[in-house]
């Protein structure tokens, strides 16, 4: 049967503002009265002093557990056992993408509600119905597609503004590609992240994501560099945490993320952030599309403004090995990858050539200062 359904999927609630950690009871009480809180180590003390006393005062029993660094089956089972022993009816995840992915998986396997507090704005983990599972040795294991998005995502701008600027920039890089990928996927009538057809709403959310970045990114960096909250920062976080996730989920991905996936084949780039590689993937996509100069100018302005690496050398590539980049192109064009959402058929040779041209273009823009 041909695929015809179009989708819009989203967390049930997205809330953004300052001081939201201390208000946790307001967001948890709708889902349960016995909470297991999984948290990154750096914020453990703050959770214990700000969130749990307020929860107890509101009649919500709460236990806090430190996340053990990787989203593995071992960790998901460990925390699941704790949830059972405690008879928890709601899971709260506080931390980076792996912590939130673990909280989502624990909630799914134990049929519990899940409330998430992202502490960095660098990935789409908070809002999507997906967990990325790793093996105990740190290698990628599988994608766990979840039947539901999280129940609530709470973006506390006090926490997010204090995160390192590099993570914030990486989140902007990931969000920057969202519109261009959704546009390509819509034009090709491709397949979105929940394996349905892209909706017009998905394309609209992706477009708003890009507009918020264009309008706010310079002023948002002023806030991040001073670790303060401003309206421009808040709107940028709406783009990087909410719109980027739901826009990609309903609108679909295309060349930028396919190239990012391929770049895992380059050893020099293993330490590079997801959003940094997606940024180079976006430049490659714009070359493949022969995008108008004004569009490329604006994308480059945003990349430079947030201090994302522009060229492959900026990302740490020491030498360009043709065989490695032929492999990148091959992975990017693999059966089932999102390169298939480009409006025109794209060959491995097209991608290889576009990556060389994208880096040359990046070098040219960099030389302009
Ligand atoms: Zn991404």
Flag whether 82 is marked binding.
no
- Identify which has the larger pLDDT, 2 or 255: 255
Q: Where in the chain is the domain with CATH 3.40.50.1970?
A: 13-161
- Measure the CA–CA gap between 47 and 365, rounded to whole angstroms: 44
- For residue 98, the CA-to-ligand 1 centroid distance in Å is 14
Q: Where in the chain is the domain with CATH 1.20.1090.10?
A: 168-367
- For residue 274, the CA-to-ligand 1 centroid distance in Å is 7
- Measure the CA–CA gap between 133 and 119, rounded to whole angstroms: 20
CATH no., domain 13-161: 3.40.50.1970
Quote the tokens at residue 37: 């809180």
- For residue 86, the CA-to-ligand 1 centroid distance in Å is 35
Q: In which residue are the tokens 């480059």 written?
A: 300
CATH class of the structural domain 168-367: mainly alpha
Question: Average of pLDDT values for 34-47?
Answer: 97
Per residue in 117-136, pLDDT (tens digit) is: 999 988 888 999 999 899 99
Question: Average of pLDDT values for 250-260?
Answer: 97
* pLDDT at site 122: 86
Flag whether 283 is marked binding.
no
Flag whether 176 is marked binding.
no
Which range, of 3-12, 46-55, 135-144, 212-221, averages the lowest pLDDT? 135-144
Flag whether 257 is marked binding.
yes
- Measure the CA–CA gap between 359 and 313, rounded to whole angstroms: 9
Question: Average of pLDDT values for 161-177?
Answer: 95
* pLDDT at site 137: 87
* pLDDT at site 138: 82
Residues near ion ligand 1 (Cβ under 5 Å): 174
pLDDT band at 3 (very low <50, low <70, confident <90, very high): confident
Question: Average of pLDDT values for 214-226?
Answer: 97
Q: What angle do CA 322, 325, 330 make, to 5 degrees?
A: 125
* pLDDT at site 369: 81
* pLDDT at site 318: 96
- For residue 101, the CA-to-ligand 1 centroid distance in Å is 14
């Amino acid at each position: 049967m041909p695929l015809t359904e179009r989708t819009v999927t989203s967390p049930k609630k997205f809330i953004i503002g300052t001081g939201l950690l201390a208000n946790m009871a307001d967001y948890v009480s709708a889902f349960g009265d016995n909470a297991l809180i999984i948290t990154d180590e750096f914020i453990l003390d703050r959770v214990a002093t700000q969130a749990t006393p307020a929860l107890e005062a509101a009649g919500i029993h709460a236990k806090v557990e430190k996340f053990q660094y990787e989203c593995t089956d071992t960790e998901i089972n460990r925390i699941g056992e704790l949830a059972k022993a405690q008879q928890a009816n709601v899971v709260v995840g506080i931390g980076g993408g792996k912590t939130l992915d673990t909280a989502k998986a624990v909630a799914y396997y134990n049929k519990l509600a899940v409330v998430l507090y992202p502490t960095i704005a660098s990935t789409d983990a908070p809002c999507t119905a997906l967990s990325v599972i790793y093996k105990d040795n740190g290698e990628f294991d599988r994608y766990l597609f979840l039947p539901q998005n999280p129940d609530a995502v709470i973006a506390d701008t006090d926490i997010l503004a204090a995160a390192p600027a590099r993570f914030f920039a990486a989140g902007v890089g990931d969000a920057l590609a969202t519109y261009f990928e959704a546009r390509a996927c819509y034009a090709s009538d491709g397949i979105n992240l929940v394996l349905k057809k892209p909706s017009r709403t998905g394309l609209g959310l992706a477009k708003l994501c890009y507009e918020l970045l264009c309008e706010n990114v310079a002023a948002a960096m002023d806030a991040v560099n001073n670790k303060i909250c401003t309206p421009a920062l808040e709107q940028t976080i709406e783009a990087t945490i909410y719109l980027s996730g739901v826009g990609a989920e309903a609108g679909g991905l295309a060349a930028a993320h396919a190239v990012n996936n391929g770049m895992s084949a380059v050893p020099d780039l293993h330490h590079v952030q997801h959003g940094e590689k997606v940024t180079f993937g976006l430049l490659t996509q714009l070359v493949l599309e022969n995008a108008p100069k004004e569009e490329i100018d604006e994308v480059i302005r945003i990349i430079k403004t947030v201090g994302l690496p522009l060229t492959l050398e900026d990302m740490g590539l020491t030498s360009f090995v043709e065989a490695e980049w032929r492999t990148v192109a091959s992975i990017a064009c693999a059966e089932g990858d999102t390169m298939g959402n480009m409006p025109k058929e794209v060959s491995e040779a097209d991608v290889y050539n576009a990556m060389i041209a994208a880096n040359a273009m990046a070098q040219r823009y960099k030389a302009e200062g």
